[in-house]
Amino acid sequence: MHALDVLTQRVSIAQLSGPDITTDQQEMLIRAALRAADHAWLRPSRYLTVQGAARSRLGEIFLQATPDWQQLPADKQQKLLNAPLRAPLVIVAICRVQEHPKVPALEQLLSTGAGVQNMLNAAWALGLGAIWRSGDVAHNPAVAAALGLAANEQIVGFIYVGHPNTTPKAVPELEVRDFVTAWEAKTL
């Protein structure tokens, strides 16, 4: 697949299944993520891979970290428990924000986000499906603590990776001109 086709045709795929993602495929996804733009070479990103039975344990964390989870209807509890089971591999993208005189926290978060996008593109190029999810659990301090995050770390998202169960949906082409304006240089 041509690189520009990957960049212009990739779509998120939510319906994923096994077989498991191979070690070589996982390594390629992480390699792609590590090539993201990174001001001052801080390397702010790190990743946790969750597969097999660990996905069920992650679901338990999602449930138990939810405020007043015992009062949730059974179907909502089950949805939280089953969330990590939607794909054979869940990659937790984490940003380690570091103090730096020239690289603000926002740029470090953007670097991790760019890494996630590279990972999604690499999955597509490998013929895999992937989707970047976040939601309340990504911003829940109890989830962060259960996953062993340090005080300067935050979850950027959960990347679900697997083999597509469905044909990717057709996404309408966007008109570039609707998103670009030529700026005419003017002085103050």
Tell me what pLDDT residue 67 has.
94
Contact 112, 84 (CB under 8 A): no
What domains, with CATH codes, occur in the chain? 9-51+86-167 (3.40.109.10)
Predicted TM-score of the model (pTM):
0.95
pLDDT digits (tens, 9 = 90+) for 133-166: 999 999 999 999 999 999 999 999 999 999 999 9
| pLDDT confidence bin for 169, thresholds 50/70/90 | confident
Ligand-binding site membership of 11 (annotated): yes
SS in 3 state form for 117-144? HHHHHHHHHCCCEEEEECCHHHHCHHHH
Ligand-binding site membership of 177 (annotated): no
Mean pLDDT for all residues in the chain: 96
Ligand-binding site membership of 133 (annotated): yes
Torsion region of 70: left, alpha or beta (phi above 0 gives left; psi -120 to 50 gives alpha): alpha
Ligand-binding site membership of 2 (annotated): no
Tell me what pLDDT residue 186 has.
86
Ligand-binding site membership of 39 (annotated): yes
Tell me what pLDDT residue 27 has.
99
User: DSSP of 88-123, one letter per residue?
Assistant: SEEEEEEEE----SS--HHHHHHHHHHHHHHHHHHH
